Structure 1
Amino acid sequence: MKNTKTCSKCNSKNIIRIPGKAGAYGSGNNIMTGMSIFSAVKITRYLCCECGYSEEWIEDKKDIDKLIVKYNNRY
């Protein structure tokens, strides 16, 4: 949905982007990679307003690199 602007389930173009955020004590739509709010990786959601399907994306390459460092080889 992020790239096509179309829902992959129902083909609707009625998509909204919900930006990720990091709040106090790790609240918000994020993944913590450390102990402080500054280590939070924000996750952006794309939501189809017709069928309710959603996708989550990490949009910043630097944030993806943080996750690789923390979680690599833990699968």
Structure 2
Amino acid sequence: MRYSHTCPKCGSRDIITVPGKAGAYGSGNYIPLGMTIFSTAPVYRYVCCGCGYTEEWIDREDIQRVKARYDGESEA
């Protein structure tokens, strides 16, 4: 949906973008990367207004920062 602006589930082109941001008291749409609100990776949500399907994306330049912070944490 990010690039095609078409829902992969229902085919609707009625897509909205919810921009990623960090808010007060831990609110917002982001991945924490450090101890401050300034060390975050914003997460952008794409929402289909036809069926409610959503996708979440982070900017390409944030991928390595997220990987460096979280790689290996989910391993058992």
Deviation at 1:30, TM superposition (A): 0.7
User: Aligned-pair distance for 1:39?
Assistant: 0.6
Write the distance in 1 (CA, Å) between the matches of 2:60 and 2:8: 24
Tell me the equivalent position of 1:19: 19
Mapped partners of 1:37, 1:63: distance in 2: 15
* AA matched with 1:34: G
What's 2:63 paired with? 64
**Whole-Å separation in 2 of the counterparts to 1:53 and 1:22:** 23
TM-score (norm 2): 0.88
- Secondary structure of 1:74 counterpart: coil
Q: Deviations over 1:1-38 (max 9, x none)?
A: 11111001000001011101101232101110111011
Aligned residue runs from structure 1 range 1-75, under 5 A: 1-58=1-58, 60-75=59-74
Q: Which runs of 4+ in 1 moved over 6 A?
A: none
1:16 aligns to what SS in structure 2? strand
Stretches of structure 2 lacking an aligned partner (at least 5 in a row): none
What is the TM-score of this pair, normalised by structure 1? 0.89
Aligned residues: 74
| AA matched with 1:70 | R
RMSD: 1.1
